[in-house]
């Protein structure tokens, strides 16, 4: 009988491979790396990779040819349509994140464990190092991911990942984000993250929801000032903000 851990891991690896196939990393007809290479890259056992590839084969993403390897197939039409549908404006994306992640933070405050808090602190340490070194934004992602994981609900985690992946792959978001040249905004957002963590440590669901809402509102307002409001793709005017109601 397959363990719960292997079952969870193979689905995660399968979803990551789907994203790579959708991005064109493995064009139709090309061969994927061997199982052992995939296992090393994702830090899992070969049994996990094998189950993930079986899942992808059943769903029509790859063909496993005995003695030859694993080959990418033409991306299913449903996934092509999904990819096109996710080409949305940056402020529409932020609005969706605001609605989703504020509620995730609220629920995480009720489910959070000491191990979850430890991961969040480590993510903030990584974020500080990113800012000091002028590096990437891995710490930022790790912090938001740790909160989603703290819900201990795989569906909520999957929804968060879908939003974040669209953020990373959305060309309109990248174009807007590249206009920020100062680290000052990153320090502001680090302060926001610290407020979110403080609420989660107290297991204060209302405060956690409000802190996350305010954080993403701050992000939105900062990016709004950097936007070209006359650009055809500007979508900020469509989305008004409203405060989280504290009962």
- For residue 1, the model assigns a pLDDT of 38
Biggest distance spanned by C-alpha atoms of the chain: 63
Kindly report the CATH number assigned to the domain that includes residue 33.
1.10.10.10
Q: Are residues 131 and 100 in the same domain?
A: yes
105 and 194 inside one domain:
yes
Tokens representing 20 are: 């790579």
Query: Per the domain annotation, does 52 fall within a domain?
Result: yes
Strands 62-65 and 69-72: antiparallel
Q: Is 247 a member of any domain?
A: no
With respect to residue 148, please indicate whether it lies within any of the assigned structural domains. Answer: yes
Of 32-36, 110-114, 117-121, 172-176, least confident by mean pLDDT is 172-176
Is 81 among the domain residues? no
Total number of domains in the chain: 2
For 80-102, write each residue's pLDDT tens digit.
444 444 457 788 888 899 999 99
Residue 160 has pLDDT above 80, yes or no: yes
For residue 183, tell me if it sits in a domain: yes
In terms of domains, do 15 and 113 share one? no
**Domain stop point among 19, 49, 75:** 75
Contacts of 130 by beta carbon, 8 Å cutoff, 6+ apart: 136, 137, 138, 139, 140, 186
> Domain for residue 92, yes or no?
yes
Is the domain of 93 the same as that of 119? yes
Asked whether residue 91 falls in the same domain as residue 70, the answer is no
* CB proximity list for 17: less than 8 A, separation 6 or greater: 32, 38, 52, 53, 56, 61
Q: What is the reported pLDDT for 179?
A: 65
Residue 245 counted as domain residue: no
Residue with tokens 């349509």: 81
Q: Are residues 67 and 93 in the same domain?
A: no
Q: Across residues 221-232, what is the average pLDDT?
A: 75
Query: Which of 75, 108, 133 is the last residue in one of the domains?
Result: 75
More confident residue, 111 or 55: 111
- Could you say which of 27, 43, 75 is where a domain stops? 75
What is the Cα–Cα distance from 204 to 218, expressed in whole angstroms? 21
Same domain, 172 and 137: yes
Q: Are residues 105 and 197 in the same domain?
A: yes
Task: Clarify whether residues 148 and 116 are in a common domain.
Answer: yes
As a whole number of Å, the CA-based R_g of the chain is 20
Q: Which domain holds residue 187?
A: 86-238
pLDDT band at residue 108 using 50, 70 and 90 as cut-offs: very high
Looking at residue 136, which CATH number applies to its domain? 1.20.120.530
* Judgement on whether residues 15 and 98 belong to the same structural domain of the protein: no
Decide if pLDDT at 223 tops 60: yes
Q: Identify which has the larger pLDDT, 60 or 214.
A: 214
């Amino acid at each position: 009988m397959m363990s719960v851990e292997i079952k969870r891991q193979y689905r995660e690896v399968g979803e990551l491979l789907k994203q790579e196939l959708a991005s064109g990393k493995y064009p139709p007809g090309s061969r994927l790396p061997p199982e052992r290479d995939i296992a090393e890259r994702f830090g899992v056992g070969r049994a996990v990779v094998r189950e993930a590839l079986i899942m992808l084969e059943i769903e029509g993403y790859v063909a496993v040819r005995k003695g030859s390897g694993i080959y990418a197939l033409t991306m299913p039409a449903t996934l092509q349509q999904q990819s096109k549908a996710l080409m949305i404006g940056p402020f529409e994306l932020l609005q969706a994140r605001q609605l989703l992640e504020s509620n995730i933070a609220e629920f995480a405050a009720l489910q959070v464990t000491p191990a979850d808090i430890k991961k969040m602190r480590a993510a903030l340490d990584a974020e500080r190092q990113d800012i000091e070194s002028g590096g990437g934004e891995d710490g930022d992602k790790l912090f938001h991911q740790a909160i989603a994981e703290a819900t201990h609900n795989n569906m909520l985690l999957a929804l968060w990942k879908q939003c974040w992946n669209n953020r990373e792959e959305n060309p309109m978001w990248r174009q807007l984000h590249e206009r920020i040249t100062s680290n000052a905004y990153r320090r502001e957002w680090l302060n926001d993250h610290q407020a979110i963590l403080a609420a989660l440590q107290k297991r204060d669901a209302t405060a956690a929801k409000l802190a996350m809402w305010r954080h993403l509102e701050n992000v939105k307002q900062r990016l709004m000032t950097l936007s070209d409001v006359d650009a055809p793709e500007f979508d900020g005017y469509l989305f008004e903000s409203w405060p989280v109601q504290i009962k």
